[in-house]
Amino acid sequence: MPADDPGNPVSARPVTSPGARVCLGVVAGAHGVRGAVRLKSFAQNLADIGRYGPLEDESGAMRFTIRLMGSAKGTLIAHLSGVADRDRADALRGLRLYLPRAALPPTEEDEYYHADLIGLAAVLNDGTPVGEIRAVHDFGAGDTLEIARPTGQPIMVPFTRAMVPVIDFAVGRIVLDPPEGLLDPSPPPRKRTKEPA
């Protein structure tokens, strides 16, 4: 959440390992015949995907500099260094592109990177474990935390100061203050029965 968002619960700086990386985008496929690719950017400003330096594949074996050319249908059109034809570009479809976390600018007091939240433990006010943050989603009404539980289905928790009053990066956890019933297991889906004809 941006710093000016009053529902932003972040109140401490993350402590990340020096080797931590952030996924900034994914190759969506080839564009044209000269090696251009369509990129889905995860940066807040989509065009910033190549701003902080070369990006790497998940293993760190491949490194690419990005030259943006434009945009089309919700993706960026770009050339990746070393990719000169459509076959090579198409072979990269689905490739996630990473940047070292240290290459990103520091966050403001009430800002965070999603990568800093993923993996944090989620506990209740009394210390009862709930699970671990698996993902941060934005479905249009603000960020939502997906919390994987040891048993049962994951839960979705609105990421607001009221719901998440404490984030403690040093300890590696968030504290939840959910309304009654939010963490209750979902009832199993009802079986449909055929009505007589």
Residues 137-190: tens digit of each pLDDT: 888 788 899 999 998 889 999 999 999 999 998 899 999 999 888 887 666 667
Query: Cα dihedral angle (16, 166, 106, 138), rounded to 10 degrees?
Result: 100
The owner of tokens 């994914």 is 26
Q: How far is the C-alpha of 82 from the C-alpha of 152, rounded, in Å?
A: 45
Q: Looking at the domain 21-100, which fold is it?
A: Elongation Factor Tu (Ef-tu); domain 3 (2.40.30)
Encode pLDDT of 67-94 as tens digits.
999 998 889 999 999 999 999 999 999 9
Going by pLDDT thresholds of 50, 70 and 90, the confidence category of residue 21 is: confident
pLDDT tens string 101-146: 888 888 887 777 888 899 999 999 999 999 999 998 888 788 899 9
CA pair distance 25, 56, nearest whole angstrom: 10
Residues 6+ positions from 83 with CB-CB distance below 8 Å? 35, 37, 64, 89, 92
d(CA 55, CA 80): 10
Query: In the Cβ-directed half-sphere of 107, how many Cα atoms lie within 13 Å?
Result: 21
**Whole-structure pTM value:** 0.66
In 3-state terms the chain splits into helix, strand, coil percentages (rounded to 5) of: 10, 35, 55
Overall residue count recorded for the chain in this entry: 197
pLDDT in tens, 39-53: 999 888 889 998 989
Distance separating alpha carbons of residues 76 and 27, to the nearest angstrom: 10
Residue 2 has pLDDT above 70, yes or no: no
Question: So where are the chain's domains?
Answer: 21-100, 114-176
* Of 135, 153, 152, the residue nearest 144 (C-alpha): 135
Residue 4: pLDDT band by 50, 70, 90 thresholds? very low
CATH class of 114-176: mainly beta
